[in-house]
Amino acid sequence: MSNGFMGRTLFVDLANGSLTEETTDESLARDYLGGYGVGVKVLYDRMKPGVDPLGPDAMLGFTSGPLTGTPALTSGRYTVVGKSPLTGTWGDASSGGDFGPYMKFAGYDFVFFTGISEKPVYLLLDEGKASLQDAEHLWGKDTQITDDLLRAEYGRRHTRVSCIGPAGEMQSLISCVMNDKGRAAGRSGLGAVMGSKKLKAIVARGTIKVPMHDAKEATLMRRRWIPRLNEGGDLFHEYGTAGITEGLVAVGDSPVKNWGGSSVDFPTVQNIGGDEVVSEQAKRYGCWRCTIACGGHMKAGPGRAKESHKPEYETLTMAGTNVLNDDLESIIRFNDICNAAGLDTISAGSAVSFAVESYQNEIIGLDDVGFELNWGDGEAVTSLVDLIARREGIGEILADGVKSAAEKLGQGAEEFAVHAGGQELPAHDPKFIPSLSVSYRMDATPGRHTQGGVGWIMGDGVMEDTRPDKYSAEGFGELQIKAAAWVHVANTTGICLFGFNSYNVSFVTEFLETITGAKYTGEELELAGERIGTLRHMFNLREGMNPLEMDFNPRALGKTPQTEGPNEGVTIDDDALVSDYLRALDWDPVTTRPSDSKLEALGLKQTVGAA
């Protein structure tokens, strides 16, 4: 087997409890790198189209990359993959912490589940052996208690846990998969898939070393690279992503007042800015051997979780700026509630701002909610997310995301449901970063900020956007392809996107060569990235999902232009950007099917057949 991989892939049928091992396919790992690259190939080949994502035929994968758990910088990532019950499209969600590396130290690169267990179970990966265990005693427990109990049982030192909380058990479509108590594979609603299978957790215990082509050189390389952090990395080290909130509100990147307002409506952003957040931090921490260490544990305090984690930028905006809430304490509690229940903070925050605006427009009232929902009321934010976490009262409707809630409430509530294809938009505004209007629609996981974009996450040193006008479609398509491809490379090899942005991107290629022994040129990696992106797209086409037909809330695109603030008067011509992207991709402008020659060039002809 290739270096960088443990060589073993596990298939678990939860219906009958059978476990089947296969040798990790070497050519697959080379062509699809790892992570959701291999994930999409396996699901495309082995899962029937049209399955109910919460039904027995749905597959759910836990995937690592060849760099996960190695000396490569920021290499703590793993990715959960499946068909998203929230969007009906391809779904994947990546997370840091330590779990990904430990999955490999326990001996496995990839684990795929199918079927539904009769009783709650967890999968134990233990020094090269796998078994299903009874999880009846864990069902109903929050993610932190689950993590504590399992690590106490198997020994804290070499054991890590990835699990769902009550939100996933109740199949909330905005639930996530949590590991290390504060790290989330947040998006695509994959916690609900795990819940539907009655799979409470995966426990990984192990000390097996990842085989490497040149382990010594990899360690030396790491030492050479660590000091080469750029300014963005410095900022993340000092504050975590909390350090960007004030700046991004000012420039018009952050949503304010459920995407209907602007920085002008939220002059007190300083109260939830980086300095305030860090003043509440007890200790900084990093994922698996990461020296950027953007995470943090918060000081103890009344109403806070026993292990309270530093809120990320996304959380500070979705539960802060987007509801005009400058009460930091309420955001810390919101974050704690989401982490414990296993809820995606982006979607949960979006559900809260949707509810506040629906309340203000008398679509829902005091009788429905039980308390008032006013802009800027931190107390209401935490009370409401608590209901969502428990699926109680109005929380029952909101727990499946804003699209579903708007459909249930009717009365024009869809105007306030800010999503793309059912996925609540993250806190980056296409009016400020126009390429995101394309990423949010055209990536196979709609509404995601982690899939690249021109002028957005491009990797340090991949390319420069020298176009004079960021809103112009001219020359856009080729740049967007490159940006997306490189992000797929980082995501699938197991590298954190913050690391990807914080060091010159050549580190990925260097470590990949030293660790796997395989030589990749930049062009080959780019091609692999495009191959992965395209197969994810083909998965969606096979499901009958054409991204051009997807709902996309017009607010985020400025279809009614804002009358003040940094994005005043801006309307995104997303049709023009998408057309140029389709041209550059050589995808059909109407059906979005890649041309035959494109499929051939990407080596996908055989996989997709005549689909």
The residues of the shown chain that bind ligand SF4, judged by CB under 6 A, are: 74, 76, 96, 236, 286-287, 290, 292-295, 496, 498-499
Per-residue binder mask for other proteins (CB under 8 A), 265-304, x = binder: -xx-x---xxx-----------------------------
- Could you tell me the smallest distance in angstroms from the CB atom of residue 443 to ligand SF4? 20
Per-residue binder mask for other proteins (CB under 8 A), 399-438, x = binder: ----------------------------xx----------
Q: Which two tokens stand for residue 540?
A: 């969606």
- Could you tell me the smallest distance in angstroms from the CB atom of residue 458 to ligand SF4? 17
Nearer to ligand SF4, 67 or 319 (CB): 67
Kindly write down the DSSP assignment for every residue of 411-438, as one continuous string.
Answer: TTGGGG--EETTEEP-S--TTTSTHHHH
Per-residue binder mask for other proteins (CB under 8 A), 547-586, x = binder: ------------------xx--------------------
Residue 312 binds which one of other proteins, ligand SF4, none, with CB within 5 to 8 A depending on kind? other proteins
Backbone dihedral angles phi then psi of residue 120, each to the nearest 5 degrees: -60, 135
Residue at token pair 């596990």: 10
- Could you tell me the smallest distance in angstroms from the CB atom of residue 428 to ligand SF4? 17
Contact 464, 564 (CB under 8 A): no
SS3 147: helix
Nearer to ligand SF4, 165 or 295 (CB): 295
Residue 231 makes contact with other proteins by CB under 8 A: yes
Nearer to ligand SF4, 248 or 417 (CB): 248
Stretch that binds other proteins, among 128-136, 144-152, 262-270, 522-530 (CB under 8 A): 262-270
- Could you tell me the smallest distance in angstroms from the CB atom of residue 350 to other proteins? 16
Q: How far, in Å, CA of 201 to CA of 279, rounded?
A: 34
- Could you tell me the smallest distance in angstroms from the CB atom of residue 286 to ligand SF4? 4
For other proteins, the binding residues in 303-342 under the rule CB under 8 A are 312-314
Q: b/e string for 153-176 if b means 16 or more Cβ within 10 A?
A: ebeeebbbbbbbbbbbbbbbbbbb
Pairing of strands 90-95, 78-83: antiparallel
Residue 241 binds which one of other proteins, ligand SF4, none, with CB within 5 to 8 A depending on kind? other proteins
Residue 293 binds which one of ligand SF4, other proteins, none, with CB within 5 to 8 A depending on kind? ligand SF4
Nearer to ligand SF4, 286 or 477 (CB): 286
Q: How far, in Å, CA of 524 to CA of 32, rounded?
A: 11
Kindly write down the DSSP assignment for every residue of 479-536, as one continuous string.
Answer: HHHHHHHHHHHHHHHT--HHHHHHSBTHHHHHHHHHHH-----HHHHHHHHHHHHHHH
Q: How far, in Å, CA of 425 to CA of 195, rounded?
A: 24
Helices (H), 240-289: 245-251, 274-279
- Could you tell me the smallest distance in angstroms from the CB atom of residue 287 to ligand SF4? 3
Residue 287 binds which one of ligand SF4, other proteins, none, with CB within 5 to 8 A depending on kind? ligand SF4
SS3 95: strand
Residue 238 makes contact with other proteins by CB under 8 A: yes
For other proteins, the binding residues in 441-460 under the rule CB under 8 A are 456-457
Nearer to other proteins, 53 or 186 (CB): 186
3-state helix, strand, coil in the chain (%, to 5): 45, 15, 45
For the chain, count helices (H), then strands (E): 25, 16
Element (H, E) at 78: strand 78-83
Nearer to other proteins, 325 or 501 (CB): 501
Alpha carbon distance, N-terminus to C-terminus of the chain:
31
Residue 249 binds which one of other proteins, ligand SF4, none, with CB within 5 to 8 A depending on kind? other proteins
Q: CB atoms < 10 A from the CB of 600, how many?
A: 12
Residue 295 binds which one of ligand SF4, other proteins, none, with CB within 5 to 8 A depending on kind? ligand SF4
- Could you tell me the smallest distance in angstroms from the CB atom of residue 275 to other proteins? 6
- Specify the length of the chain in residues: 611
Residue 53 binds which one of ligand SF4, other proteins, none, with CB within 5 to 8 A depending on kind? none
Residue 250 makes contact with other proteins by CB under 8 A: yes
Q: Which two tokens stand for residue 155?
A: 């020994």
For other proteins, the binding residues in 65-94 under the rule CB under 8 A are none
Contact 390, 166 (CB under 8 A): yes
Residue 262 makes contact with other proteins by CB under 8 A: yes
Residue 278 binds which one of other proteins, ligand SF4, none, with CB within 5 to 8 A depending on kind? none
Using CB under 8 A, pick the residue from 239, 359, 375, 520 that binds other proteins.
239
Residue 76 binds which one of ligand SF4, other proteins, none, with CB within 5 to 8 A depending on kind? ligand SF4
Nearer to other proteins, 58 or 457 (CB): 457
- Could you tell me the smallest distance in angstroms from the CB atom of residue 486 to ligand SF4? 16
Q: Which two tokens stand for residue 153?
A: 């049982």
Residue 73 burial (C-beta neighbours within 10 Å; 0-12, 13-18, 19+): buried
Nearer to other proteins, 474 or 564 (CB): 564
Q: How far, in Å, CA of 111 to CA of 131, rounded?
A: 12
* Site residue total, other proteins (CB under 8 A): 38
Residue 146 burial (C-beta neighbours within 10 Å; 0-12, 13-18, 19+): buried
Q: How far, in Å, CA of 452 to CA of 481, rounded?
A: 9
Residues 6+ apart with CB under 8 A from 421: 87, 88, 89, 441, 446, 447, 545, 547, 550, 551, 552
Residue 172 binds which one of ligand SF4, other proteins, none, with CB within 5 to 8 A depending on kind? none
- Could you tell me the smallest distance in angstroms from the CB atom of residue 118 to ligand SF4? 37
Q: How far, in Å, CA of 256 to CA of 249, rounded?
A: 8
Nearer to ligand SF4, 60 or 103 (CB): 103
- Could you tell me the smallest distance in angstroms from the CB atom of residue 558 to other proteins? 16
- Could you tell me the smallest distance in angstroms from the CB atom of residue 498 to other proteins? 6
Q: Which residues bind other proteins (CB under 8 A)?
A: 231-232, 234-236, 238-239, 241, 243-244, 246-252, 262-264, 266-267, 269, 273-275, 312-314, 427-428, 456-457, 497-498, 501, 565-566
